[in-house]
Amino acid sequence: AAGVIQSPRHLIKEKRETATLKCYPIPRHDTVYWYQQGPGQDPQFLISFYEKMQSDKGSIPDRFSAQQFSDYHSELNMSSLELGDSALYFCASSFRTVSYEQYFGPGTRLTVT
């Protein structure tokens, strides 16, 4: 079965640079979620989109923005990167009209130097 696809899998950036992470949800899923997991931490919810509209917002810094496109893929844009942004970034998708279960991608490991 098709899973959530994330790209790139690894990304190294310097402080103050920008980064763009991409997520391709499971086909026919209508909701995309972004999470950040710091070292030794639990995943923290950042933002979600339902049918291409922002649905909910968690602890997403103002330096970050995201959107969902007409083909349902989503991008997380991160600007003015800081050392503390180094983390695993997960995208998840769900078919929320059917269930609350979220299916996660393999993650993008962002390292800011």
Partner 1 sequence: DQQVKQNSPSLSVQEGRISILNCDYTNSMFDYFLWYKKYPAEGPTFLISISSIKDKNEDGRFTVFLNKSAKHLSLHIVPSQPGDSAVYFCAARDSGGGADGLTFGKGTHLIIQP
In the complex, the residues that contact partner 1 under the rule CB under 8 A are: 4, 6, 31, 33, 35, 41-46, 48, 50, 55-56, 58, 90, 92, 96, 99-107
Distances from the Cα of 13 to the Cα of 67, 82, 94, angstroms: 21, 10, 30
CB of 23 to partner 1, least distance (A): 11
- CA 106, 56, 61, 77 dihedral sign is positive
Nearer to partner 1, 8 or 58 (CB): 58
Nearer to partner 1, 35 or 85 (CB): 35
Per the structure block, which two tokens stand in for 28? Answer: 């026919």
Nearer to partner 1, 50 or 65 (CB): 50
3-state secondary structure of 85: helix
Q: Are 89 and 36 in contact (CB under 8 A)?
A: yes
CB of 67 to partner 1, least distance (A): 16
CB of 68 to partner 1, least distance (A): 13
Nearer to partner 1, 79 or 103 (CB): 103
3-state secondary structure of 78: strand
